[in-house]
Structure 1
Amino acid sequence: MVYFLAKRCKFCRGSGASTSKNELVEFLRTKENNRQSEKNLKKLQQNNLELIQSLQKQLKIA
């Protein structure tokens, strides 16, 4: 069975190119992993900011 992608992706060879089901599944899995990674990165950045602010307050008190 062959699937057609409306948008170009790294598996496409041009407009209307087809890709296998396994390639499509891998593409979608990679896309979801990237989304989760970005979400986790934002959480880490927020935690780092809160930690820095907390340390700055402690230094002002000391």
Structure 2
Amino acid sequence: MPAKSKAQQKAAGAALSAKRGDTKKSDLQGAARDMYDSMSEKQLEEFAEGGRKGKPEHVDE
């Protein structure tokens, strides 16, 4: 399931980077830290994939 907004996609990308060991978990904040703790690497890949063109910056849900 791809992200519905640019913000979700960016947070998933940051969490994925930490899961892979490219960045430190301590550098994550907010939604990215929550995603790191609650989602698998595969789920994060699916969430972060796809282009950002045409997506809103934020989605209220």
TM, length-normalised to structure 1: 0.30
More helix by share: 1
More strand by share: 1
TM, length-normalised to structure 2: 0.31
By relative contact order (CA 8 Å, sep 6+), the higher-ranking structure is 2
